[in-house]
Amino acid sequence: LWYDKHHEGDKINMNKQKRSLSIHDISCVGRCSLTVALPILSAAGMDSSVLPTAVLSTHTGGFEGYTFRDLSDDIQPISAHWQSLNLGFDALYSGFLGSFEQIDLLKDLFDTFKTPDNLIMVDPVMGDHGKMYPIFEPAMADGMASLCAKADIIVPNLTEASLMLHEDYVGSGYDETYIKGLLQRLSGLGADLVVLTGVSYEPGKLGAASYDRKSDAVSYACAGWVPGYFHGSGDVFSSALLSALMHDFSLERSIEIAVRFTFRSIQLTVELGQERRYGICFERALPELIKLLGLSD
Ligand code: PXL
């Protein structure tokens, strides 16, 4: 519904500033989740609100002995306060959750704040390289799948797709028929739009595939592939994707913008010789994102 109303080609509509709600953890050090989503959405001209799911001293992938404070108990009271004030959001965007219980809390939140005009985006952050992050219990796969049913658009990587669909992880050697089937099965979870990240058909290329269930259309965007693992790149991608969608770019163009921005951020990380566990240097690529979004001369 959201997409039909807004999908009128690649036009810019900044007459009204849109308000996003980013629902992720705060990893104090190591650029991912909220420390990535907020600056990107703000640079894209959004009024960027947050609902933190947990506070960690660092992210969980590369630093030893991180602290972890689950904020599940705060979600319902925060939501009740917003409801009492009649607050609303143009986009609700969830990522890394602090507990399994947050699945139900977020379903309630989505039910409360969904309108015919706004967009719910779920990035079912759960794993990579064919494996679930050790911090999560296996039930998280079905939990995330059920949360995806409430979304207008979902943004899994190949690992999260296999976990939610209970299929074997196929990390390479697939073809377009396999990816289209996977996109269709993912849309069967309930969201009209699906964006699959980490898709590569040839060595040296990496990108994303999108699927619109209503038109059965698949599109691809790809850029260069930089060897190695880049922490937080999924969050950079999803935040840029939401930024583009909120500016009413088509799904096809939005994945191109997000792929380009993520690739540029990774390239800069390598060029600057940054230590990988601190995440990627998206800050230096923000001027390019602003240009891609048509917000500068
Ligand atoms: O980038 C996803 C992410 C978000 N938040 C935390 C993480 C990770 C990935 O490992 O550990 C805390």
Q: Which of 25, 67, 122, 132 to mutate to test the pocket of ligand 1 (most atoms within 8 A of CB)?
A: 25
DSSP string, the chain: -HHHHH-SSS----SS--EEEEE--EEEESS-THHHHHHHHHHTT-EEEE---EEEEE-SSS-TT--EEE-HHHHHHHHHHHHHTT---SEEEE---S-TTHHHHHHHHHHHH--TT-EEEE----EETTEE-TTS-TTHHHHHHHHHTT-SEE--BHHHHHHHHT-----SS--HHHHHHHHHHHHTTS-SEEEEEEE-SSTTEEEEEEEETTTTEEEEEEEE--SS--TTHHHHHHHHHHHHHHTT--HHHHHHHHHHHHHHHHHHHHHTT--GGG---GGGGHHHHHHHTT---
Q: How far is the CA of 14 from the centre of ligand 1 (A)?
A: 31
Q: For position 263, what pLDDT does the model report?
A: 98
Give the mean model confidence (pLDDT) for residues 41-66.
Answer: 97
Q: How far is the CA of 126 from the centre of ligand 1 (A)?
A: 8
Q: Whose CA is nearest to atom 7 of ligand 1?
A: 59
The predicted model scores a pTM of 0.95
Confidence band of 6 (pLDDT split at 50, 70, 90): low
Q: How far is the CA of 123 from the centre of ligand 1 (A)?
A: 12
Q: Whose CA is nearest to atom 6 of ligand 1?
A: 59
Report the atom number in ligand 1 closest to the C-alpha of 232: 1
Q: For position 15, what pLDDT does the model report?
A: 57
Q: How far is the CA of 179 from the centre of ligand 1 (A)?
A: 25
Residue 289 has pLDDT above 50, yes or no: yes
Average pLDDT of the chain, as a whole number: 95
Report the atom number in ligand 1 closest to the C-alpha of 36: 1
Q: For position 297, what pLDDT does the model report?
A: 74
Q: For position 262, what pLDDT does the model report?
A: 98
Confidence band of 2 (pLDDT split at 50, 70, 90): low
Residue 10 has pLDDT above 60, yes or no: no
Q: For position 1, what pLDDT does the model report?
A: 55
Q: How far is the CA of 25 from the centre of ligand 1 (A)?
A: 8
Q: In what order do the strands lie in the sheet with 54-58?
A: 26-29, 54-58, 68-70
Q: How far is the CA of 245 from the centre of ligand 1 (A)?
A: 23
110-129 pLDDT, tens digit per residue, is: 999 999 999 999 999 999 99
12-36 pLDDT, tens digit per residue, is: 444 579 999 999 999 999 999 999 9
Q: Which of 27, 132, 266, 277 to mutate to test the pocket of ligand 1 (most atoms within 8 A of CB)?
A: 27
Residue 205 has pLDDT above 80, yes or no: yes
144-153 pLDDT, tens digit per residue, is: 999 999 999 9
129-187 pLDDT, tens digit per residue, is: 999 999 999 999 999 999 999 999 999 999 999 999 999 999 999 999 999 999 999 99
Q: For position 166, what pLDDT does the model report?
A: 98
Least confident residue range of 13-17, 83-87, 200-204, 279-283: 13-17
Q: For position 13, what pLDDT does the model report?
A: 46
Residue 4 has pLDDT above 70, yes or no: no
Residue 269 has pLDDT above 70, yes or no: yes
Report the atom number in ligand 1 closest to the C-alpha of 125: 2
Q: How far is the CA of 52 from the centre of ligand 1 (A)?
A: 13
Site residues for ligand 1, CB cut-off 6 Å: 25, 27, 32-33, 56, 59-61, 96, 125, 133, 232, 234-235
Confidence band of 5 (pLDDT split at 50, 70, 90): low
Q: How far is the CA of 60 from the centre of ligand 1 (A)?
A: 6
